[in-house]
Structure formats: C-alpha cells, structure tokens
Copies of this chain bind each other. A is one copy, B any other.
Amino acid sequence: MAKGRVTLPIETGMDEEIKELMERLGADAVRNSDGTELPEVASELFAKVYSTYFPARGDNLWAKSRPNDRTHFYLMSDRVTALSEEPLEIDIMSGYFDQQVKPDTTVDLERMWQAHDRTTGALLPFDAWKLGEDQRTVTILNPQIGHVYTVNFFAQQIWDSTQMYNYITNDWHLDPKREKEMPFDVRVPESWEHMKQQLQVWCEAHPEVDVVRFTTFFYHFTLVFNQLGKEKFVDWFGYSASVSVAALDEFEAEYGYRLFAEDFIDEGYYNNPFRLPTKRYLDWLDFQHRFVTSRAAELVRITHEAGKEAIMFLGDNWIGMEPYGPHFPEVQLDAVVGSVGSAATCRMISDIPGVRYTEGRFLPYFFPDVFNPEGDPIGEANRSWLDARRAIVRSPLDRMGYGGYLSLAVKFPEFVNRVEAICAEFREIHENSGGIRPANAPFKVAILNAWGRKRSWQTHMVAHALWYKQIYTYLGVLEALAGLPFEVEFLSFDDLTEGVPNEVGVILNCGSANTAFSGGERWADPKLQQTIRKWVAEGGAFIGVGEPSAHAANGAFLQLSDVLGVEREIHWSLNTDKYFNEAVEHFITRDLDEDFDPGEGAGDVFATSSDTQILAFKDGSVQIAAHDYGLGRAVYFAGLPYSSLNSRLLHRAIYWAARREQRFELDWVCENPACEVAYYPSERKFLVYNNTEETQATKVFGGGKEYHVHLAAAGYHWGDVENEAI
C-alpha cells in the first residue's frame, strides 16, 4: 500500500507514537495546531512540516506600537425609537463587546459616521446629531416622536475575532502567557513593510518548516460579539471588517465615487450573501479582492524565495481572497487547505482553481468535546468520511488531514484503526482512478443566482457549514450535486447577458424569495426572463427549488411560473380555484418509496394547469412537479434537504429535464439510492460505495450491463468492467 497524501497534527512528548502513527496512516506531512508547538522530532520524520502563520495578528509588539492602525469595522447601533421629542441618546456600544470593538472617534465624523431615521430611511444631516464626550453616546438632537434612529459608526477592531473566540472558549485568560492578539491593517504602509520583513525573518528562523500555512491573510470575516462576549453577528463572507479611511479614499480615487458607512451597514443586514448584492458592494469586493490578492502574492513570493511552500487556510482572515475570484490564481499559492463539513464544503475546497493541490481537514478534531468516554469519535469520523467521500470521488481533494491533539486520539485505538483505513481508502481512490475524474453526464448543471462563480459551492451559507433551519432545505441541492455525476457551474444572472452558455444542459434556481440565491428583483428584468424562456423552449431544462424566480410583479409571484407549471399562493389569488392535486407516477419519483421530505420548503404551491404533472402533493401544496415547455422541460421541488433519496430525486430530475432519461441506467447508476457508483472509462473500472452506516446490496447498472454488489457499512468496492461477475 502506498503512502502519502495525509497530514498529521503532532505535539511534543510522544515521539515514538508519532513515528508509529506516521507509518500506519501513511502520513507524509505533519503540522502544529493553533496554540501548539511543533516537537523537535518533526524534522526527523521524512515528512513535510507545516506551520501556521498569521501575517496580520500575533505580533502585539508591533500592534501596540501602532495603536491607530488596527483593522476597522463598520457597525450599526441598536435601533432606538424616540418616544418623545426630547433629544434621543443612543449608546452605540450597547450590544457590543468593548474588548473587541472600540468606536473610532479620531476620524472625520461627518465623512465616516452616519445617523439615520430608519422610519423614513433618511440620512440625517451631520448637524442633527452629536457625539458625547464619553465617545459612545450619540444624541439625535431633534428626533421625531415615533421614529426609529440608528448610528453607523466606524470602529477599531481591537481583538482578532478568531483568536478572541479561541481565547474565550478555551479559557486562555487562565494562562498568563496568552495575549489578546490585536489585528493590524495591511493597508498601512508601515505595517505592510513590517509584515513582509517579519515573514522573511520567520522563514529564516524556521528552517524545519517546509510549508507555511497562512491562517489566513489580512481581513477577518465579519464576526462580532455582544456585550456578554458571545457571538452577536457572523457572516463568513462579510467584508464589514475590511474598511479603513485609506481604503475608502483609494476606492474613491479609483472608482470615481465614494462609499459611505451605509454602503457597508446595509440597513443592518451588512450585505450578507442572502441580500441581493448592490453594484457598489460588488465594486468594493472587486477593489479589495485585487488589493488583498496582490498583497498575498507578495507574501507567497517571499515564502517561495525562502524555499518553502505557501498554503492558505480557507477561513478566518480570508476576506478579499475570494478563491473563485479572477485574481486568486495570481497569488500563486501552492495549496488551499480547509475544513470539510460536508460534500459541498469539500467541493468548495477541491474545485478551487489556480493552486497545485488542495487539502481537507477532516472531522472530528482531536478535541476533548468528542474524545471522552461519552463521545463517539469513530461515528463522527465515519459520517465525515461518508459525507466527504461522495465529493472526493467526483473532484478529489489531493490531501487529507486531521487537526487537534494527537495525544487525545491515541487513547482511542479503535478510532486510530478507522482513521488508518480511511487514509488508505483515500489514497486508493487516487491510485485506482489513474488521476482521472469519473465520467459525468455530457452537459453541465448550472446553479443560477446573483453571485455566480464568486460563490461557487458557497451558496446559502451563513457561518461555514453550520446548520440553520432556514438553509438546510437549499443546501441539500449543493450537497447532492457535490457527489452526483455532473459537472457543476455557478452562473450569475449577469452571465446570461449573451444567453445561456453552450455547455449548460440544466439550470437550477434555488432559494427562498427575495434572496440573492433565488434572485429577488433581478427577476424584474424582462431580458433575463426572456433568455431563460427562450432557452428552455428550444430544448433547455430549468429546475426550481423553493421559490425560484420569485418576485411579485405583473400578476405572477414565480416569474417563471409558465415554465415551471406551478405558482405560489401569496394570498393574492385565493379567489382562483385550484383543482389539481393528484400526484402521478413518474420517472423522477420512481425510487421514492416513502413520503417526500421537502424540509422547510415552500408551501401553498399550486399547478397552473392540467399540463403540469404533479409528482408529490401534500397539505394542499405541490411538492414536486414536472412540466414540458416547448421543446424543453422544467421540474419544481418545494425544497430538497440532503438525503440519499432526495439526491436521487435530483439526479433523476436532471436527467428527465435534460431529456436523457433513456440513458439513466446506461450512464451508470446504483439501483439502491443508498449507494452510488463512479465510472472511470479510461481505466475500465467502477467504484461503488455505500453512503450509509448499514450494509447494503445493490444492482449497479452501467454500459448496458448489470452488476450485483454487497457492501459493508460505509463500504466500497472497485469493480472491473470486463472481469466483474455480473
């Protein structure tokens, strides 16, 4: 069995165990974790040595020497209602954590701060409010009774958000060596020079390190804590903490217009990814993307010149890097490493272009919350692997690894056995596939939303892979696609200006109404509607999930209700009788042997005519529908949380919509939806794998043949097209 492709977290005081584990897992790289030191044995292990590196925090000596050069936030105060006509005092720090946030009152307040009447939406003139001597009370001088007011303020970020989280969570206040790390802004020329010098110095001082793991670069995603030191607001994609006077000035010089506080505050929604992005905000992303990637490229160059690899952790201070942005490849990173929480997050890493390799950090972390007598580390490892494997088969991560304290893991020998097997299986996928990806359907599946390529595999995400009641129904589509035999592309509405790209066979539009993912008022654009209708009518395929094309206008809520054959009742058309409620049998639902689970999907959906084929109907609402439209087809799902069965429904729906249902079994598929198969034409092999923790039997259909396979729990089997028993 070959070795390699595995990174192991190591620590001091267990040299012999490290050596044994390296051997058993076939690890060829070691790393420290946040807060652990590499042991000296590292350099003797015939392995690459990774070390974390923080360019913009962790250097408090420097940070303290530049007290005004912290990174900054734009933040909004509470919404405060004037209940009289007396001057209204707003404590802007109410609800914020004063160890993280410090209002920056040194700037030109008229230019950098704002106060709004949120009842009228009006920006208040500068002389309508004043900042108190306490530097945190803003007084609205002549409020209108019954109006709501807010203050947009500019603030220093005086504690790095991730280090703060780790510090608070792990009780580091008990450790006198721990400092609260203050972030500093790369846009300050002196800090930038310092960062470069420090990296050079560090590289020279650490000859044992082969790989510098940047964690990450300069600006943290939006993560703001409340007065109790608990999370108040989190946006894994948020740019609120990327602002500075210098950046705003440079933006203005370059773009010819200025951004103000409200451009970032966005009525308090902070341009989170569910909001339709404005042109101004997209300009800011572009501006910071170019800046951040150009700076990161310099640090990578320095790293390379020191003879080391440079890899980036996907998260923490990653804002501006935009791994699917146009300038990301220019950074010349060797790799991206990220946490694998699901198949979709796996693809988010493995599909990143412009790097030599990608690496996934698997669950569970070797932390005490799982590695204790009540914990289930093997179960977590299995589920993580089963989720990720579907994605790895389709678009392999090049490397895998774990994180945390190895000393904890070795107390669970059965867990180590399981990890050994997973590492071997991971390598086997690479070896048996011949480095070639398995066969996909001969067309692309496109996810259409307001973000497009920039948020590839990142739609409907709030805080990385965390579960939210309002998103799992739509994340299920990504999760299914991450392991299905389709090439997936992310298109923005703007990408359709010249029509639908040729290689696209099926377009999906998924999400709840008035979000960037379903599209909201972008659907008011007749050109967009026209493009899709024309394309579908000429033989294209459209699949909507939830409230696709939703925008109440001109007598329709789902603007493409004519394409989908369904419409949603928003209580404006209760007067119209709804007669269609009989579900029929269909190719798409052939494997649906139980009630369809639409998650938190849309209710009150009805078929617009008898032409619509209803495939699932419950509680007075269409849950799945299929509809012919000209030469093309459309499919509707009320919601599609991830499950083997729902993934199969999507698989079939895509085939049906693309008019390829006759090829469904010829193109390789397992009869049992709990199993999946990948076919490698050049190797004449297929890999069939069991996505469950129970044993499964399945027929495998492919190339006109039929194979019978029995699989252990979570098991897999490599079959040979020619020699396999049929």
A71 to B531, CA, bound (A): 42
Residue of B nearest to A563 (CB): B81
Interface presence of A121 (CB below 8 A): yes
In the complex, the answer to whether B531 meets A146 with C-beta atoms within 8 Å is yes
Shortest distance between the CB of A214 and any CB in chain B (Å):
25
Interface presence of A599 (CB below 8 A): no
Chain B residues with CB under 8 Å of A627's CB are none
In the complex, the answer to whether B577 meets A231 with C-beta atoms within 8 Å is yes
In the complex, the answer to whether B554 meets A118 with C-beta atoms within 8 Å is yes
Chain B residues with CB under 8 Å of A268's CB are 555, 573
Checking B231, B269, B575 against A573 with a beta-carbon cut-off of 8 angstroms, the contacting residue is B269
In the complex, the answer to whether B555 meets A118 with C-beta atoms within 8 Å is yes
Residues in A549-576 with C-beta less than 8 Å from chain B: 552-556, 562, 569-576
Chain B residues with CB under 8 Å of A120's CB are 526, 554
In the complex, the answer to whether B233 meets A470 with C-beta atoms within 8 Å is no
Interface presence of A267 (CB below 8 A): yes
Checking B144, B230, B534 against A530 with a beta-carbon cut-off of 8 angstroms, the contacting residue is B144
A554 to B462, CA, bound (A): 22
Interface presence of A699 (CB below 8 A): no
**B-contact 0/1 string along A706-719, CB 8 Å cutoff:** 00000000000000
Shortest distance between the CB of A33 and any CB in chain B (Å):
26
Chain B residues with CB under 8 Å of A81's CB are 533, 562
Interface presence of A272 (CB below 8 A): yes
A130 to B238, CA, bound (A): 54
Chain B residues with CB under 8 Å of A238's CB are 575
Checking B267, B512, B530, B576 against A147 with a beta-carbon cut-off of 8 angstroms, the contacting residue is B530
Chain B residues with CB under 8 Å of A530's CB are 119, 144-147
Checking B146, B222, B269 against A572 with a beta-carbon cut-off of 8 angstroms, the contacting residue is B269
Interface presence of A583 (CB below 8 A): no
A119 to B121, CA, bound (A): 30
Chain B residues with CB under 8 Å of A630's CB are 83
In the complex, the answer to whether A574 meets B121 with C-beta atoms within 8 Å is no
In the complex, the answer to whether B555 meets A469 with C-beta atoms within 8 Å is no
Residue of B nearest to A474 (CB): B571
Interface presence of A248 (CB below 8 A): no
A226 to B578, CA, bound (A): 12
Checking B234, B534, B570 against A514 with a beta-carbon cut-off of 8 angstroms, the contacting residue is B570
Residues in A84-123 with C-beta less than 8 Å from chain B: 116, 118-121
Q: Return 5 A-B CB contacts under 8 Å, by A number.
A: A146-B534, A148-B554, A269-B573, A274-B572, A469-B620
- Residues on A facing B (Cβ under 8 Å): 79, 81, 83, 116, 118-121, 144-148, 150, 222, 226, 230-235, 238, 267-270, 272, 274-275, 462-463, 468-471, 512, 514-515, 526, 529-534, 537, 552-556, 562, 569-577, 579, 604, 619-620, 630
| Nearest 10 A/B pairs, CB to CB | A146-B530, A267-B555, A146-B533, A268-B555, A83-B537, A235-B575, A146-B534, A118-B554, A121-B554, A119-B526
